[in-house]
Chain A
Amino acid sequence: MVPVDERERLNLFEQTVLPHLDAAYNLARWLAGNDHDAQDVAQEATLRAFRFFGNFRGENARAWLLTIVRNTFYTWLRKNRPQETMVEINDETLANEDALIETNAVSNSTADAELVRQAIAELPVEFREIVVLREMEGFSYKEIAELADVPIGTVMSRLARARKLLQHRLAAEFKPGGPS
């Protein structure tokens, strides 16, 4: 085995992983819901990434770092807010929401950022993470499936449900003549 040159390892880490610190913090911030906890999670995840940098195979550094952020967050969540893990949404409420949404026509405006922020924050955590990974980080379904360790079908159904819920909560925003 070739001993790893520490200096090179640090340089490589600074060049490949640290540029994605914004993405790490953004995901942690959306998952944890506040700045203080998000900083803790993002910092622990990044330092953990450095410790395990030897396992990184040079594919997608952003996806790799976010996988660690996600795992760090769920460990933190189980320890600090066990009641929040895995809230099931039943299909009946969704069917009702479907009915509500289909009748709405949209205006072309963009919904107010603060209202969108609230609507995302109210989503169950496993829906919220898919929305962040898809809409803010632009990962493909396949990348999200690997990152969140769920089948692609689950990514698709969670994304569809999350969008229905968001549309329902923002329905007033999207009505023609409603708030812009």
Chain B
Amino acid sequence: MNCRDTNLLINAYADGELDAARTLELEQHVQSCAECKCAWENIRALKKSLKQDALYFAAPADLRQRIKASLPSPAKRISTRAAWSWNWLTTAFSGAFAVCLALLLTMTIPHGQENRLADEIVSEHIRSMMANHVMDVVSTDQHTVKPWFNGKVDFSPPVRDLAAQDFPLVGGRLDYLNGRNVAALIFQHHKHIINLFIWPSKQTSSQPAALPSRQGFHLVHWSDGDMIYWAVSDLNETELMDFAHAFNTASH
């Protein structure tokens, strides 16, 4: 690869959008060319500068309230009795239909269980943020978070701080998933929250794998032979995979 190609592809490289073969060629060129190395350092410094928390504008509280007030209120939701009885009938039928469909799906699709779990995990993630209940124990210290789980769950989840990899640990929470108590670790990456759900399982170990995104959230799951891990966040898939690999590596 020459300087011209590098100049064209260096942004895609910085964004993790370059395929493996060309990534390798580009890295080799950058290592051997002072000018392109400088261009790469420039982009990296710029990207870092653009990701500062101070540049992100969170929605003001009064905007949130105004929007909620403009949405239909619970009192207005059921308007007339006539509409209600008709709705009730159709709801009953569509409900029965949904149950049949769900039964059919779980019988025919082997991944039905995994999908249901993924849905449950996304719901827990959303709930944890909406109800202002992200953390039960707030600490960036893994030696505070880990003992906190003693007596709350019947296993000892591995707790790692990944601040060095730009995924600082911010706390822990007890959660309920898949019919059991699970440990939830909360990490932060810039403004984004990552929930990592952990519970014991004798499933054979597997490398982090991403699921198709749901409702704008990405999911990655893996297993180390003792525990199952599910990470969920509104981070993009590449960054969430980076997180999964960082956690997996730090645990071994």
Contacts and interface: CB of A to CB of B under 8 A. Distances in A.
Interface of A: 2-3, 5-7, 10, 13-16, 18-26, 29-30, 35, 38-39, 42-43, 46-47, 50, 58-64, 101-102, 104-111, 113, 116-117, 120, 131, 134-136, 138-141, 156, 159-160, 163, 166-167, 170, 173-174
A105 B59 CA distance: 37
17 contacts: A2-B90, A3-B87, A7-B78, A20-B216, A21-B64, A24-B59, A25-B63, A64-B216, A106-B38, A110-B45, A116-B49, A136-B50, A140-B236, A167-B42, A167-B43, A170-B46, A170-B49
A46 B38 contact: no
Given A2-B90, A166-B46, A141 B63 contact: no
Nearest first, the 3 closest Cβ-Cβ pairs linking A and B are: A62-B216, A25-B59, A138-B236
Contact of A135 (B12, B51, B91, B126): B51
Interface string B210-240: 0001111000000000000000001111110
A104 B215 CA distance: 43
B11 interface: yes
Interface of A is mostly: helix
Contacts of B56: 22, 26, 136
B48 A10 contact: no
A163 B11 contact: yes
Contacts of A156: 11-12
Interface residues of B, number: 56
Nearest to B17: A141
B54 A50 contact: no
B21 interface: no
B213 to A, nearest CB: 6
Contacts of A163: 11, 43, 46
A50 B55 contact: no
Contacts of A3: 86-87, 90
Given A105-B38, A167-B46, A43 B70 contact: yes
Nearest to A47: B70
Nearest to A109: B45
A30 B56 CA distance: 9
Given A10-B71, A42-B63, A104-B42, A61 B216 contact: yes
Contacts of A20: 216, 234
A47 B67 contact: yes
B216 A15 contact: no
A43 B62 CA distance: 11
A135 B236 contact: no
A173 B49 CA distance: 10
Contacts of B45: 106-111, 174
B54 to A, nearest CB: 4
B58 interface: yes
Given A18-B67, A30-B57, 5 more contacts: A14-B130, A21-B63, A102-B35, A170-B46, A170-B49
Nearest to B50: A135
B50 A19 contact: no
Given A6-B77, A25-B60, A116-B52, A174 B42 contact: yes
Nearest to B54: A113
Contacts of A6: 72, 77-78
Nearest to A40: B63
B94 interface: yes
Contacts of A64: 216
B57 A7 contact: no
A172 to B, nearest CB: 13
